[in-house]
Chain A
Amino acid sequence: MNAPQRFTTVHQDLTFSRRTLVVGGAQAAVGALLIGRLGWLAIAENEKYNLLAEDNRVQLIIVPPRRGWIVDRYGKPIAINRSDFRVDVIPDQMEDPEREIGLLSQLLQLDPDDLFRIQRELKEARGFKPVQIAENVPYERYASVVVRLPELPGVQPARGFTRFYPAGPAVGHLIGYVGAASAKEYEEEKNPLLITPGFKIGKEGLEETLEKNLRGDPGGQRVEVTARGKLVRELTPKPDKSGKTVQLSIDAGLQEYAARRLGEESGSCVILDCLTGDILTMASMPAYDPNSFSDGIGRTEWKALSEDPRKPLLNKTLNALYPPGSTIKPMVALALQQHGVDPKETVFCGGGYRLGNRFFRCLGRHGTVNMHRAIAKSCNTYFYSMGNRIGYDRIAPMARLLGLGQKFDLPVVSQSYGTVPDSAWKRRKFEDNPKLYARPDWTSSDTLNASIGQGYLIVNPLQLAVMASRIASGRNDQPMLVGVHKNPAPMLNLPAAHLDAVRSGMWEVVNGDGTAGASRINIPGIEMAGKTGTAQVRRIAGGQRGQGGDWRYRDHGLFVFFAPFDKPRYAGAVVIEHGMGGARAAAPVAKDVLTYLFDRERAMKRLGELEAEWGGSLLERTARRAQAIEAAARAAAAAPAAVAQANAP
C-alpha cells in the first residue's frame, strides 16, 4: 500500500470510516457466528442434547428382580426365595443421619463392621438412592424399627428376599450359592443392578453358571431429581421381570438321600439315568451350607472349612481326581474283546505276574480264571497278562470311548478331567519335563499298572459314573444337568456279546461269589451289578497296604454299578476317600442309594439307623457344627479384649 507521506485530518477521517466498516463487519460476522452456533446446538445436535438433558433429569431407582427358582426333575424346589425383612435408608430424606444411624444400630444390633460400611456408603451415595442398613432382620428387631418410624425420617423398612436351599449342604457343591457382587464383578459388567442393596448374584455352581437364566430383568422407579440428588417427583415405574425357573435333571430326593448316606465320610456319589444321560444325583460330602454362604460367611467359618482335611469346599464329583483302581477292569475287558481276546480263554493266577525281573502282585491266588471270573474276583493277574498282550495303546481308546479323561458339556464352574495315558501322551510329558519321568517310551510295566487302574491313569467320579452308564446301556450317554430328557442316547458301536460278557462279570461281583457280595439289594427282582475298586494313595511300603493307620494314607474305596441288571436304568459311581476298599466303604452306599429308588421306606429306615449312630441328621449335624464355629469365633473375638482388659491397670 502506498501510504501518503503526510497524514492530515482528511486522511484521519478516511481511515476512521474505513476501519469502522471493518469493525462493523467483524461485529456482524461474530453475530452471524453466534446465531449459526445456536442453530447448530439447538437444531443439528438437538437430539443428542435432549438425551443428555433427560439423562440429567431422570434417574432410575432400580428394583431388583426376583431370582428364578431351581427345581428338580419332578418340580421339587432346590433353590427358592424366602421373604425376609430388610431396612434401608434414603439419605436425602434423613433429617439427622448421625442420630438416626445410632438409633438404628441400637435397635438392629449392628456390629462395627456394618456401621463402617454404612457410613462409607452414605458418604458415596447420591441422595435419592437407598443404602442398605441390614437385611435378613429378625421379626422382633424389624418391628422395633417400624414402631419408631416417626422419629426415623428416611428409614425404609421393607420386605426383601433371601435365597433358601431346603436341602442345605446336600446341594452345596451342585447348586453353589449367591452373594453380593464384588467390586471386581461390578467392574466387569458395569451394571448398576449389581450394586443395588439386597441384590445377589450366583457365586458358585449352577447359581453362577445359570446366572443369565436366573437373574431376570430389573424394574425401576423413574424419578426426577435435581443436580444435588434431591427427589422432585416420581414418574411412571417400569415393572421388573422375575428370573426364569430352571429345571434340573437332578432328583432332589435322591440327591439329598445320597448326601445324607455319605454321612461323615469324605466322598461323592454320582448317579445317571443310563438311558438318557440325565444326571440324577451329584453329591459331594462334606459340603458347606449354601444357606449360610448366601448370608455372607464369617472369617472363622471360612477358616474352619478351608482347613478341614475332608475338604468341604471341594466338589469331589468333578474336581477331585483318583486312580480308578479295579473299577476300570470291565472297560479293559471290553478292549480285550475288541482286540480278539476270547472271554473263555483262561489265565492261571498264582498270586501275581512276572515281568522280567519284577513281580506284579495279585491280591489273591485265584487259580485258573476266565474273563467272567477275573472281573468277579478282581484278579489282577488276568488283566496284567491280557493287558500286556494287546498293549495299552489299544486299551486307552476304549477308556476314552467310555468317558474317562473326557470333559463333558455341562454348566459347571470347572471340571478336572484327569488323564488317560498312552505312549504318545508319555512321550509328550517327558519332553515337557524330563525330570518327572524315568524314560520317554511306554513300558510294559506302565501297561500293567494302567490295566488295573493305577499308575498314570486318573479320573473323576463323574467319568466313572459315565463309564458305568455306557457299559450298562451300550449307549453313548452324555451327562446332562439341565432339563429332563426322554429320548435315549444313540448306541455305541459295541457288540452286544462283548457287553454281555462284561455285564455278567459285574453281576457276579455283587450277586455271585464276587468282591461285593455283602451289598446285594434285598428287593426281589432288582439286582445290582458293579465293580469294586481300591486305589492306593501312596506306594506300598513296609508291608503296610493302606488298610489302616493314619487316615490320610488309607486307600480310597471306589464302586461303579448299574441296576436293575436285567434292564439297566440307573448307573453310577461312589468314591469314599480313604475308605480302605470299594467293597467295604463304597458298595454299601451304592446299595442304599439304589434301594431308595426302588423302596424308599426301607432306604429311609436304614438311613435313620445310620444317622442315629452318627449323632443326628445331616441338618442337625450341620447346625451343631455352625454353632461350634460361632462359639469359636466369639471366643477368638473376646480373647484380645480380655487381654486388653488384663493389661489395663
Chain B
Amino acid sequence: MISSAIIPQPLAKLPWRLIFLVGGIGLFGLVNLYSAAGGSIEPWALRQGMAFLVFLCLAVTISYVREGTIKALIVPVYIAIVLMLIAVDMLGFVGKGAQRWLDLGIIRLQPSEFMKPAIALVLARFYELLPAGEIRKFRAIWPAAMLIGIPAVLVILQPDLGTGLMVTFAGISVMFLAGVQLRWFLVPGGLLAAAIPIVYQFLHDYQKKRIDTFLDPESDPLGSGYHITQSKIAIGSGGLFGKGYLQGSQSHLQYLPEGHTDFAFATLTEEWGMLGGTIVILAWMAVLRWSLGVAVKAPTRFAQLSCAGLNAVLFSYFAINLLMVMGLAPVVGIPLPMISYGGSAVMTVMICLGLLMSFERQQRSRSTFS
C-alpha cells in the first residue's frame, strides 16, 4: 500500500486500478505485436506503444475536464463532427472511392472515430434536457433518432458499416437506459429483422460477401471466408496454453490475414492459448464493469447516461471484434482496441476512458490509494 503522504495529491487521485488494468492490456498488446512482426518492435510495436502513451496522457488530461464544460461543449462538437462527416462524404464522392479520412494537411482525421463518444454524450444531453414526463411521448424519440440517424447514415455511406453500427448501437443504448418505452425497441427491431433482406440489396458487394461468408464460411474458403477459417484455426490450434511465444505458425507464416490488426486476438490466442485469451477477455470485462459502475454511481442524469453510453461504445468494440474473430459474427472491420495495431481505436477508447475518469473523479474526493 502506497501511503498517500508520498504520492502527490493530483497523482494519487487518479483511478490507478483502471490505469493498471488498461496498461496491462496495452502491454500485452505490444508484446503480441512484437511477435506478429516476427519478433521485432518494427513496424508495429514501437509505434503502437508511443500512440498508447500519448493517448493515455490525453485520457488523464480529459479526466480533469469538468462535467459542466463537457455539457457546454458537446452540442457544438457534435455539430462540428457531423459537418466533418459530410465533408468526408463529399470528398469520397469526388474521389469515387471509400473515404474515411479528412486530410487537414498536418494531421489526418477520421471524424467517424470522434462520433463514437460524441453520440453517447449528445444523447445524454438531450435526455437530460427532456422533462421526465415527456419520456413516454413521441417527442422523446424522433430528435434522438435524428441525432443517431444522421451521423450513422453518413458513416455507412463512407462506407464504413462497422463504425456505423457502433454509433447506432451506442445511441440506442443511451435511449434504452434513458427510459424510452420498450416497444420503441421491440417494434423497430422486429421491422428491422423483416427488412434485412431488403437492406441487403443495397449493400456494397464486399459487404454482401462478408455476410454470405459469415453464414457459410466454407462457401468461399479462399476469399472472405478465408479470414474466419484461418482465425478459427489459429485460435483452435493454440489449445489451452498456446504454442509458445513467437511460435505461432498461423501468424508467422502469414496464413492468418490481418494478424496484427483486426485478428490480433487470434495471433495472441495461438501463442498464449485459451489462458492468454481468457485473461484478455476478463481484463476487458473488468474495464466494462468499472465503466458501468461509474454510470450507476453517477449523481446526475447527464453523467449517468453519458457513462452508460461510453460503456456501450467500449462494449461494442469488444463484442463485435471478438465475436467476429471467433467466427460468431460476420467480418466487419472493427479492431480490438489496445490489442490490435491502430492508433485511432486507441484514441477513441482513451477519449471514452478519459471522459469516464472525469465523471468518476467528480463522484469522490478520496484517492483510490487511501
Contact = CB atoms under 8 A, between A and B. Distances in A.
Interface of A: 6-9, 11-12, 15-17, 19-20, 23-24, 27-28, 30-31, 33-35, 37-39, 41-43, 45-46, 48-50, 52-53, 56-57, 224-228, 232
Contacts, number: 135
A16 to B, nearest CB: 6
B249 A49 contact: no
Contact of A56 (B238, B250, B288, B292): B250
Contacts of B177: 16, 19-20, 23
A36 to B, nearest CB: 10
17 contacts: A7-B135, A7-B136, A8-B133, A16-B305, A19-B176, A23-B177, A24-B289, A27-B292, A27-B315, A30-B323, A41-B232, A41-B327, A43-B274, A46-B236, A48-B236, A52-B236, A57-B253
A12 B235 contact: no
B214 to A, nearest CB: 15
Interface string B249-279: 1100111000000000000010001100110
A48 B176 CA distance: 42
Contact of B274 (A39, A56, A57): A39
Contact of B254 (A17, A43, A48, A228): A228
A37 B278 contact: no
A43 B230 CA distance: 17
A232 B235 contact: no
B255 A7 contact: no
Interface in B96-132: 132
Contact of B253 (A34, A52, A225): A225
B253 A56 contact: yes
B53 interface: no
B249 A56 contact: yes
Q: Give me the 9 closest cross-chain CB pairs, A-B, nearest first.
A: A49-B236, A53-B237, A42-B274, A15-B179, A41-B236, A226-B253, A227-B254, A49-B237, A57-B249
B239 A42 contact: yes
B288 A27 contact: yes
B322 A50 contact: no
B57 interface: no
Quick one: which of A16, A17, A19 has the most chain B CB within 10 A?
A16
A30 B234 CA distance: 21
Contact of A20 (B239, B284, B295): B295
Contacts of A42: 235-236, 238-240, 269, 273-274, 277
Contact of A43 (B135, B240, B295, B312): B240
A35 B274 CA distance: 8
A15 B236 CA distance: 42
Nearest to B275: A42
Interface of B: 132-133, 135-136, 173, 176-179, 230, 232-240, 249-250, 253-255, 269, 273-274, 277-278, 281-282, 284-285, 288-289, 292, 295-296, 301, 304-305, 308, 311-312, 315, 319, 322-323, 326-328
B135 A12 contact: yes
B319 A227 contact: no
Given A19-B179, A27-B285, 5 more contacts: A19-B177, A30-B319, A43-B239, A53-B237, A56-B255
A46 B239 contact: yes
B237 A50 contact: yes
A7 B278 contact: no
Contacts of B323: 30, 34
A34 B324 CA distance: 10
A48 to B, nearest CB: 7
Contacts of A24: 289, 292
Contacts of A15: 179
A153 B245 CA distance: 35
Contacts of A48: 236
Contact of A37 (B132, B289, B301, B326): B326
B235 A226 contact: no
A397 to B, nearest CB: 62
A37 B238 CA distance: 14
Nearest to A20: B296
Contacts of A226: 253-255
Contacts of A50: 236-237, 239
A24 B176 CA distance: 13
A228 B301 CA distance: 55
B240 A34 contact: no
A37 B328 CA distance: 9
Nearest to A33: B328
Contacts of B136: 7
A49 B179 contact: no
A372 to B, nearest CB: 80
Nearest to A52: B233
Contact of A9 (B132, B173, B236, B285): B132
B14 to A, nearest CB: 25
B236 A45 contact: yes
B179 A16 contact: yes
B318 to A, nearest CB: 8
A649 B126 CA distance: 88
Contacts of B176: 19, 23
Contact of A53 (B233, B289, B296): B233
A228 B252 CA distance: 12
A224 to B, nearest CB: 7
A225 B254 CA distance: 10
A226 B250 CA distance: 9
Nearest to A31: B285
B133 A38 contact: no
B172 to A, nearest CB: 11
A49 B315 contact: no
